[in-house]
């Protein structure tokens, strides 16, 4: 079975300070709350992640990680067990008191999400943000990295929309001048038009209701890399369908610490929303198939041991072994 990079995305808090119209957190379909993952729970989670073959923990998904005032403690916990650790941030915070402590604790990758190099352009998507804060924090990061000789990969990520595409060359120069890397991500949605306000839990429930009429891409020998190569947890320690979908009740898989890898994989694999999801797939690999066979076998064996019968199995589990066993 080929080696795969397995990444966990974890929100340690439940808040973002911006109101980006192209983000479900920004439009507050995922409302802010004061919830924070206890450090003890976090340590249990990352220990289990490592035992299950995960190689890195990225402390972001739907929130602004630097709003966790003790973020450095979570980073240090990740590095103590020798896992990679990354952050993605807007840096649109007036002063980050624990910036140096967090970087020194062991961040290896820091992504800075931006959408404009002047305030007027920047605030179209990063609503409520202040570009001056971002630029000042970028300069602080460069100074900290150089002074402390940190092995830190800083990446300026341009969220490219039609209205800001003309600034791409300036962004490249901005990153190069600071010794940062640069990448472009085509933005999803239209900050100048319709927002993500309609993409609420009810929308996903409605989409899931159509699943019975759909043929899953997985049934055609395709596979979603988000299913096999990553996992997403909220600050309650709950697994959700994937990092590309919101932390809605309809997409909740269950408490990570109480579920086996097989249970998590199969609950995600059989989730009805995956049948209607349009995320790009890749050709299923031998490793994907072996993992599904193993997970299905383990779950059916556990069910037989518990009940003496395979009855009640999800209708998509039993065909998996037959579908892939000859591949």
Interval 308-320 mean pLDDT: 51
Q: Does the pTM of the predicted model rise above 0.75?
A: yes
| CATH class for the domain made up of 7-199 | alpha beta
Alpha carbon separation from 133 to 116, 139, 227 (Å, rounded): 13, 10, 36
The whole-angstrom distance between residue 231's C-alpha and the CA centroid of its chain comes to: 7
Residue 184 β-bridge partners: 158
Tokens coding 57: 């923990």
Contact 185, 159 (CB under 8 A): yes
Give the span between the Cα atoms of 301 and 177, in whole angstroms: 58
Whether 319 shows a pLDDT value over 90: the answer reads no
**pLDDT digits 0-9 by tens, 59-71:** 999 999 999 999 9
Question: Hey, which residues does 154 pair with through a beta bridge?
Answer: 110
Residues 265-292: what's their mean pLDDT?
89
Across the chain, mean pLDDT equals 90
121 vs 45: CA distance, rounded Å = 40
Q: Is the pLDDT of residue 315 over 60?
A: no
pLDDT at position 308, please? 64
pLDDT tier at 326, thresholds 50, 70, 90? very low
Contacts (Cβ under 8 Å, ≥6 apart) of 179: 142, 145, 146, 154
Span 190-210, average pLDDT? 89
pLDDT confidence band for 278 (50 / 70 / 90): confident
**Exposed/middle/buried for residue 254 (C-beta within 10 Å: 0-12, 13-18, 19+):** middle
Residue 107 to residue 152: CA distance in whole angstroms: 7
Whether the CA torsion 67, 68, 69, 72 is positive or negative: it is: negative
> Is the pLDDT at 248 greater than 90, yes or no?
yes
pLDDT of residue 322: 42
Average of per-residue pLDDT across 279-293: 88
pLDDT at 195 over 80: no
pLDDT digits (tens, 9 = 90+) for 206-244: 999 988 777 778 778 888 888 888 999 999 999 999 999
Q: How far is 223 from 262, CA to CA, in rounded Å? A: 17
């Amino acid at each position: 079975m080929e080696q795969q990079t397995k990444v966990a995305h974890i929100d340690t808090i439940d808040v973002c300070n911006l109101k980006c119209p192209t983000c479900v957190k920004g439009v507050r379909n995922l409302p802010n709350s004061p919830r924070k993952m206890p450090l003890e729970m976090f340590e249990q989670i990352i220990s289990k992640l490592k035992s299950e073959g995960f190689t890195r923990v990225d402390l972001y998904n739907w929130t602004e990680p630097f709003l966790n005032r003790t973020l450095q403690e979570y980073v240090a916990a990740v590095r103590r067990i020798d896992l990679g650790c990354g952050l993605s941030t807007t840096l649109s915070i007036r002063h980050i008191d624990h910036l140096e402590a967090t970087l020194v604790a062991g961040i290896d990758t820091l992504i800075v999400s931006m959408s404009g190099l002047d305030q007027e352009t920047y605030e179209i998507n990063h609503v409520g943000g202040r570009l001056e804060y971002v630029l000042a924090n970028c300069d602080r990061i460069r100074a900290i990295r150089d002074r402390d000789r940190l092995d830190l990969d800083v990446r300026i990520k341009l969220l490219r929309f039609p209205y800001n595409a003309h600034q791409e060359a300036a962004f490249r120069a901005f990153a190069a001048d600071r010794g940062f890397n640069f990448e472009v991500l085509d933005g999803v949605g239209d900050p100048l038009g319709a927002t993500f306000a309609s993409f609420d839990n009810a929308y996903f429930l409605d989409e899931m209701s159509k699943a019975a009429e759909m043929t899953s891409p997985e049934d055609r020998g395709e596979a979603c890399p988000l299913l096999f190569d990553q996992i997403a947890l909220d600050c309650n320690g709950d697994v959700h369908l994937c990092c590309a979908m919101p932390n809605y009740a309809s997409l909740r898989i269950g408490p990570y610490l109480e579920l086996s890898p097989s249970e998590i994989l199969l609950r995600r694999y059989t989730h009805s929303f995956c049948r209607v999801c349009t995320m790009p797939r890749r050709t299923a690999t031998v490793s994907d198939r072996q993992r599904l066979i193993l997970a299905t076998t383990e779950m059916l064996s556990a069910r037989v041991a518990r009940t003496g019968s395979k009855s009640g199995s999800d209708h998509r589990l039993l065909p998996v072994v037959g579908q892939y066993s000859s591949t």
